[in-house]
Structure 1
């Protein structure tokens, strides 16, 4: 496996995916010698993972494709405590039932990215509630907690950054629980490598220290870079909020649009981070970006690859179909589900009853025009479209025949201002 694993770390470094690591030479030697078991933890702080979780998930996938054995740990136990890393305030505590429900949903999402059925190196899903839930207080304090000094914990960034605003003993103890996770996975599953975001460095190294003190054996840690955008805005947020991996929370179209709107300054970095495209293809896209940036070929490839990875090939087809329909203004070829998805973040007006409607009145009712005078002017100038067709008659009446799928009408004012009318 020597060539494979040398190329694995080289590939991760080429992609900029290794931020910190402990004993790189020792890790490389171990990777060359045998398949390595590694893990990353995901706390169920919501009912879905978001794109901020994609990077560590894809690292696990890179390792699995190279013949190693990933463990995806869902924090059914630590999720009830709250990780202080990267936060300035305490997390709100969730009920055990809520955490259990979210844990199951995260397990389902993780199974999309990792192969849990393979015969050679199948991935594993575990919940740390299985061992943390069985710990009694005396054992926790006497056998585990005694290995940590308060001074040592205060020196960690995840704790030190919280001292000004205060940190509860609950969150203060999170580092000990995560360290014990690493110890348990090493002793029970032979897991010798933990990966995580750069904000997890303190927790990861604390785990290595605990393993050393409890005689657990050889272990390593590696962190990934914090994903940043060139404009300084937080990665993973769209205009409507977080970008989730659950299509019911972030539609496939909105997910695709998030990636296709990537800035030119970020797109090559994100192609390296979030896709499995080879170096030659990425170099071609980088050259295309330099020579013909207006074509946005790199952004389109990024959007296709990540959408396919998260939601499947059918989702890419649907997202591109919606994108083309909105670009051309012709929404008549969209299915009902695609139409609703395309316009779900756009103003929607519900019209009760079955009567016919004057387009002029609908422009006022949907707030597409601020006044009748402006509505008349827009219609006469050809700035108003109904279901993709320009309408310039002031007396145009929208009947049942004009409704898409029997209950929708799409008004467009200008090039990009869409308004959805739903008849009930």
Structure 2
């Protein structure tokens, strides 16, 4: 089985421009392909998993990945999948986010010199030096406004208003492909299924300007059984940065996926052999929990290493199996300075533990019965805890049914 057939078997391929040519190219290890990552946050998320694992799979098959950091396109903002305009970041913010992305990608992809080694580029290096009038003269005639307005990435924004700034995004992304085709031999672009229109813009620009063919393939978006994008929990992103989402919480996110989603995630995200996954596909009942443990362990190992994955698994088993061990539970340390008159209120406690975004959200959570401390439900959002309440083991906060957090007082 070639890598293209494996991608098909794992349910990863959504759309392709020319299936036979792409199949032949990637199976022979002759693709130099790119995936773009706009630097809109200071960490990659679990939502980037699909792209990162795809790059790794194709690299293992001998193809050459280009990880394109969107230092330039982030200044415009991609309207795809959005109902509102993205926050405009400063160049300093973008540069910092780009440096973080690079460190995180290096744990997935092998960068370096030579055949098959990945490259990392930043489109700020060519986009920021473009002269606007020259750009319009060079590529403007290659884009039909009528076609652009029919693109799915713009359609959903038309009702609420699409800014001219964002309207330029397709041109910028297309120019990226055009530039890398000429200067780096990049002959393929991969991306999420919501990027199809932007990606076709690049192939059309290359065809019209250079008279040559380039290819693109979209990968299936990772959605749950309700059609919502995975990689988020309670409205917040699941980050790859352990300081933003602890290895324990990362493990728990995947351990708690719906029964209907576990085998899809195993196929699309892990590197377990397809033969093993085929054998597991008939699992039911308690075996589904075992499958979820395997999924959570494999993904946590990929992101945080085997030691952290082992700790997260042991901590979760002890916690949910009724054991007393809290050693590997996410922990926040407070000092006496965090207390007011020797006490701390439940809302401040939840905020400092990073379990709520605001006190208003904390009040609603408490009133709805969603908070327990040391196995006692907290129903009064005015409740406070004194230094003596922490004891030597600290306070164990339970948010909802499956989120646990320890707070200790130093």
Shorter-chain TM-score bucket reads 0.7 to 0.9
Instruction: Give the whole-Å Cα distance in 2 for the aligned partners of 1:366 and 1:167.
Output: 41
Aligned to 1:203: 198
How far apart in 2 are the matches of 1:401 and 1:14? 52
Instruction: Tell me which residue corresponds to 1:172.
Output: 167
CA distance in structure 1 between the partners assigned to 2:152 and 2:397 by the alignment: 53
Residue of structure 2 in register with 1:35 after alignment: 30
Tell whether the 8 Å contact from 1:238 to 1:258 is kept in structure 2 after alignment: yes
Aligned to 1:370: none
User: Among residues 85, 110, 116, which one is paired with 1:115 in the alignment?
Assistant: 110
Q: Is the 8 A contact 1:73 1:126 kept in 2?
A: yes
Give 5+ residue unaligned stretches, structure 2: 351-371, 376-386
Which of 297, 301, 307 is matched with 2:300 structurally? 307
Rate the CA distance shift 1:144–1:319 in 2: closer, same or farther, 3 A: same
Q: 2:270 aligns with which of 267, 275, 282?
A: 275
Deviation at 1:322, TM superposition (A): 1.6
Q: What does residue 326 of structure 1 align with?
A: 319
The answer to whether the aligner puts 1:219 opposite 2:205 as a matched pair is no
1:266 to 261, 269, 273: 261
Partner of 1:394: none
CA shift at 1:44, angstroms? 0.4
Contact 2:251 2:296 in 1 (8 A): yes
CA distance, structure 2, for counterparts of residue 221 and residue 161 of structure 1: 23
2:392 aligns with one of 389, 399, 403: 403
Distance in 1, Cα, partners of 2:28 & 2:8: 20
Alignment partner of 1:39: what SS? strand
Per the TM alignment, residue 28 of structure 1 is displaced from its structure 2 partner at its CA by 2.3
Q: Tell whether 2:409 aligns with 1:423.
A: yes
Deviation (angstroms), 1:29: 3.0
Aligned residue for 2:384?
none
Q: In the alignment, is the contact (CA less than 8 A) between 1:49 and 1:245 conserved in 2? A: yes
> Is 1:74 matched up with 2:69?
yes
Are residues 1:158 and 2:153 paired? yes
The 2-side partners of 1:204 and 1:13 are apart by 20
CA 1:119–1:211: 2 relative to 1, 3 Å: closer
Extract unaligned runs of 5+ from structure 1.
Answer: 1-5, 368-382, 387-397
Aligned residues of 2:332 and 2:408 also touching (Cα < 8 A): no
User: Is 1:47 aligned with 2:42?
Assistant: yes
- Describe the SS at the equivalent of 2:176: helix
Deviation at 1:325? 3.0
For 2:222 and 2:373, the matched residues in 1 are separated by 42
Give 1:177 shift.
0.4
Partners of 1:21 and 1:222 within 8 A in 2: yes
Q: Is the 8 A contact 1:228 1:235 kept in 2?
A: yes
Q: Given that residues 285 and 297 in structure 1 are in contact (C-alpha distance below 8 angstroms), is that contact kept between their aligned partners in structure 2?
A: no
Q: How much has 1:231 moved relative to structure 2?
A: 3.5
8 A Cα contact 2:331 2:408, kept in partner: no
Assess, with a 3 A threshold, how the Cα gap between structure 1 residues 189 and 384 changes in structure 2: closer, same or farther. closer
TM-score, normalized by length of structure 2?
0.82
Query: Compared with structure 1, are the counterparts of its residues 281 and 164 closer, same or farther at alpha carbon in structure 2 (3 Å cutoff)?
Result: same
Which position in structure 2 is the counterpart of 1:25?
Answer: 20
Q: Does the 8 Å CA contact 1:186/1:216 hold for their aligned counterparts?
A: no
Q: Secondary structure at the match of 1:221?
A: strand
Aligned-residue RMSD, C-alpha? 3.2
Regions of 4+ moved over 4 Å: 328-333, 349-354, 383-386, 398-402, 409-412, 415-421
Contact persistence 1:351–1:421 (CA under 8 A): no
- Structure 1 residue aligned with 2:380: none
Q: CA deviation at 1:239?
A: 2.7
Q: Does the residue aligned with 1:145 lie in a helix, a strand or coil?
A: helix
Match of 1:140 among 123, 135, 140: 135
Q: Distance in 1 between matches of 2:178 and 2:125?
A: 14
* CA shift in 2, pair 1:224/1:332, >3 Å: closer
2:309 is aligned, of 293, 311, 316, to 316
Indicate conservation of the 8 Å contact 1:236/1:242, yes or no.
Answer: yes
SS of equivalent to 1:228: coil
Matches within 5 A, 1:238-277: 238-239=233-234, 241-277=236-272
Question: Matches of 2:29 and 2:373 in 1, distance apart?
Answer: 66
**Which deviations, in whole Å up to 9, do the C-alpha atoms of 1:166-186 show, x marking residues without a partner?**
111110000000000001111
Determine the C-alpha separation between the residues in 2 that align with 1:252 and 1:196: 27
Aligned mates of 1:36, 1:232 — CA distance in 2: 31
